Structure 1
Amino acid sequence: MSSPRSRGYRRQLEAGLYATRYERASPREKEYLQVMASLAVGGRARTGQIAAAPGRGLAELSPIRDRLIRKGVVWASAPGELAFSVPGFSEYVSSRR
Structure 2
Amino acid sequence: MAQCQGDLRGCDCGECVSAAIQVAEEKCRRSVSGQVYLDECFMSYTFYPDHGRQDPENESGFGKNTGRTVAIVLGGAAVLVFGFILFSRCGKKEDI
TM-score surpassing 0.5? Answer: no
TM-score by length of 2: 0.30
**Greater helix fraction, Structure 1 or Structure 2:** 1
